[in-house]
Amino acid sequence: MTKLHQLADLGQAIWLDYIRRSIIESGELQKLVDQGMRGVTSNPSIFENAIAGSTDYDEDLNVLVSEGKSVEQIYETLAIDDIRGAADILRPLYNKTSGNDGYVSIEVNPTLAYDTEATIAEARRLFGTVRRPNVMIKVPATPAGIPAITELIGEGVNVNVTLIFSLDQYEAVTSAYIAGLEKLASSAGEVSKVASVASFFISRVDSVVDTALEGVGNTNLQGKIGIDNAKVAYARFREIFQGARWQRLATLGARVQRPLWASTGTKNPAYPDTLYLDGLIGPDTVNTVPPNTLKAFLDHGNIAQTIDHDVETARERLAKLAELGIDLDSITKKLQDEGVAAFAKSFNGLLKSIAEKRQQLLGDWKELSTSVGS
């Protein structure tokens, strides 16, 4: 039994925050699943590194260019092939857990993050194109994304809500999820068939708050606020999914929307490399982990339920921030905007890289044709 199996016994699923063609085709992803890894997440930055930063996709790219595919069509074909491949590897786990785990996530075009209707249409199209019951469509928790969540859940689309940084954002997400399930139930849909996670970002909060703390001469709170923020959100999760409104849906077989801890790779080298795993363990949670952090946790991570420990201390530390003049709400709002911008930049960078490769191939073929013709 690995540490990942031990975490599963405590109610926490570890998902891999990484995807690339080579780990699917080499059997590496299957080995991780055998070790207890229970899902996969992707984002535009991950796909940019995978497609633009490797030769894994060159053969397929050649074929797609020869077929006259556009840059956007090439990206989507490559990405969806990876998502389907990962989903197929995870499908037995999905079946074994009755749809609780075994998911792979793909993100809606991040340039649509502030357009509700476009996000709904894109998510709906992606869900139908992938055609796997264990795919989740990632939708950002922006003001425009919140109503999109309700609409998509109401249609039975699995949603991974991304870029949550604050308690207010989190509460809006859970409300949207519950409203979506109520909509689905009212149309005689099967609420037990839809799943969702709420991706709460951790290390990015510490990165910004630590700088602010340094500015006011306080080092005692550094490296603590990211986990404290998550602990308070988890306590709220427990309250929301025990209320009367939720119980009406639970009797129909609805699943809780599990908190998913994202951005859990340690960015500050002074902190333990398993900080954001060791401190966030608890029932009904997911932690999506980059490969290096997963390797570190398997080697020396600690197995113990921690997410519900010292919650009052966490609240006190968050309150102390305000006393120090540090506005966490303002910070988390900015972090969400920056997260959208960063994913959009990666997405556009990926399309640019594909366009350059496409143009190079077209040029090579034209040169070869000219050479043969002469």
- Tell me which residues are annotated as active site: 138
**What are the backbone angles phi and psi of residue 96, rounded to the nearest 5°?**
-65, -35
Q: Are 192 and 255 in contact (CB under 8 A)?
A: yes
- Cα Rg for the chain, rounded, in angstroms? 21
Intra-chain end-to-end CA distance of the chain, in Å: 66
Query: Are β-strands 159-164 and 103-107 bridged in parallel, bridged antiparallel, or unpaired?
Result: unpaired
Residue corresponding to tokens 């939720």: 246
Please enumerate in sequence order all residues whose Cβ is within 8 A of that of 348, keeping only pairs 6 or more positions apart, or say none: 111
Amino acid occupying residue 229 = N
- Buried b / exposed e across 132-148, counting CB within 10 Å, b at 16+? bbbbbbbbbbbebbbbb
Q: Are 334 and 326 in contact (CB under 8 A)?
A: no
List 39's β-bridge partners, or say none: 103
Please enumerate in sequence order all residues whose Cβ is within 8 A of that of 369, keeping only pairs 6 or more positions apart, or say none: none
Among 70, 76, 139, 135, CA closest to 105: 135
Which DSSP symbol is given to 309?
S
Q: Where are the alpha helices (DSSP H) in 2-157?
A: 3-9, 21-25, 28-34, 44-47, 58-66, 71-96, 116-130, 145-154
Chain-centre distance for alpha carbon 175: 19
